[in-house]
Chains A and B, each alone.
Chain A
């Protein structure tokens, strides 16, 4: 193959290393006003009064409230419970109430100081526990935003057959995306009376949907354009629908272009986070290592509005029993509303929380029966022919065992694990080494029959003899707009240099569905393969030497050639949403991690020396980009495991700055060993499956297990700080 499997440098690389790339705040928009947002500073309450300071000169300042929204005051996702601007109730700190625009940023900021809000405060609910016991009912009848149950076999029977029953509870907190480019958007009036909304956003058609419904405009009057994105990781999936509305409302009312760029502290306070979780496990196991039953309960915190929580919880619970053979599984899940910031999409989408719990718990189960963590996983790891907890039969493309075998051998796991076992030595050494393992997977694309929504993508022959990929999916840094042209070029049989991706503009590109769920390469890629087949039939023989000239000539003779195709869900996929039973995903990507750590015996600081990561991605379309995803996603998991701690006080993050919310630096990064396994998926483009989210799922438990191997301390809540390790050490020694 000439394009697929090749390390073609990313197509936007040149613009990014020269500073030529224009992110939204770099775009010079003439006569552009700047916007600000007045927000709730209490977690729950009724708005009594909005005071506009009479002494302030409001001339040349535009303000908007919910009364300026002509249509529906809601973001359009699964349910429409989140208002764009608060009407008389605020349900979390940072909820938007009044919008301001002024000719300069300083003037807008000045105006903000002259608006005050009076409230009647209400009794807020700020934790999963308080929501579960209904300290106050703030959502529906019971605070539950979503709930599921998954049943396979008979757990009662499974527990009866077990020699041992092992229980555990695992907790994780909020997790901040910390993309380097903060959220920002602009609305620009068009000469034809319409409006263009542009900015840092993952899903142009999501934003368009809310704009259409709230502004009562159709797509001839409004278009959404993705500007180059400085990172997103899910954080720019749902939130831009709100920010897009803010700039659109201000622009329509003022008649001016309006831009809002968040400062870092505002971004951390108001945008979504990863769902905090409490996951409990009860596992039945025989002496020989056979898992007889798994009972799992997953509780997520959804925050003030449901946004994407029902699907995050669904993905979480589906992944909660992991990649293990077990006949009897029973998984329950609830997402609880609180008066904290709405939690939303974050790379992994519910899976990192459940894998942190499961993969720590599996080590505990193995220890109970005296088996090593690797032998236990090798014995129970799923293979082709096995069924997952949703009863999904794994028919092909299952690289779990191969990933496991490869990381074990590359890291020399067994030997190091045994050598580190003497945790008594912990206090006698300056540093103590530890090694830990995790096995995990991630379902590619939407859950169940979700991909039946018939996403569209296309190819267009341009006048200059190049070909453009037309897709509403966006490149947020992951490299999809290099990978998709590689797939198209390979399918068409033209040099990769001739194919590019059109700027995602809803006026130009079709609705390919959102850029989420590790679906772009697999779903959009496979539509492009079909587009290429059709396009090839129309074009002359492309095996000739000067393909570009040939294509130019074709264009001059026939005009533009555009092929748009729809995604076709593999016909054998059967899913019962009600029972959460059947083929949860078209296919899974599989992975295993080995973490090697050093724990300082005096300070209890943990450094990760090496991470060995193996992934089965079906086919690596661009191996360097795949490695980039593996390393980057795993480093985010490292941050979540060891240092990233969102501290909330009365619904407000205390550490909403990069000085106080600490993410990994180059000094925290380990040595990397990445191994790519390719078990092709027959419906994926050239066999490819998803990679984007997978690497965040397995890093934290591998590190936690390595810390246990080093110290004998099992920390069951993230992040694993030196303080927590020290406290547990002290507690254990007191008991002794």
Chain B
């Protein structure tokens, strides 16, 4: 199945079996490996991406669900002209990053939140990342990093 999609900052043609998971198409076919596979069943959020403005788990979406013209944002697309986004910078500065495995998904959940809600409360921040498991931090530094970008 062929699809013409917007992936991060470019338009690409992707060709894959429709029953292939979107995460596998991204990671193995397109070599965009920033997106992580933590559980394979939509429980950990390591594979979070932004699809047409919504944060979704790419491990439970099949390539067949993708349509021409869809827009996908992965962690690689957060870098603009070689510069870190405010969230990326804040994560590093605040010690929100430890092992890093949850970070791509965490950043995309936070990006989706701030795209929609300019002034989220702490509860809204927690809600937005509650589907992203982190085993290293106590979440406090991640919440602080997001709060500082409001």
Contacts and interface: CB of A to CB of B under 8 A. Distances in A.
Contacts of A648: none
A667 interface: yes
B44 A230 contact: no
Interface string A1-34: 0000001011011111111111101101000000
Interface stretch (A162-170, A490-498, A631-639): A631-639
Contact of B76 (A19, A669, A672): A19
B136 A19 contact: no
Contacts of A665: 130-133, 139
A181 B100 CA distance: 9
Contact of A181 (B38, B76, B134): B38
Contacts of A631: 137-141
Interface in B70-90: 74-76, 78-79, 84, 88
B25 to A, nearest CB: 14
Contacts of A17: 75, 78, 84, 88, 91-92, 97, 100, 103, 107
B67 interface: no
B41 interface: yes
B126 A667 contact: yes
Interface residues of B, number: 54
Interface string A58-84: 000000000000000000000000000
A13 B97 contact: yes
A14 B78 CA distance: 12
Interface residues of A, number: 59
The A interface is mostly helix, strand or loop, or mixed, namely loop
Nearest to A9: B92
Interface string B99-136: 11111100100000000000000000111011111111
A35 to B, nearest CB: 16
Interface string A526-567: 000000000000000000000000000000000000000000
Contacts of A667: 126-127, 130
B48 interface: no
B41 A476 contact: no
Interface string B7-47: 00000000000000000000100011111111111011010
A429 B92 CA distance: 43
A13 B137 contact: no
Contacts of B101: 23, 179-181, 230-231
Contacts of B132: 665-666
A231 B39 contact: no
Interface stretch (A275-283, A453-461, A462-470, A655-663): A655-663
5 contacts: A25-B33, A228-B100, A477-B98, A666-B126, A666-B134
**Interface pairs A-B: 6 shortest CB-CB:** A19-B34, A477-B99, A631-B138, A230-B101, A16-B100, A13-B92
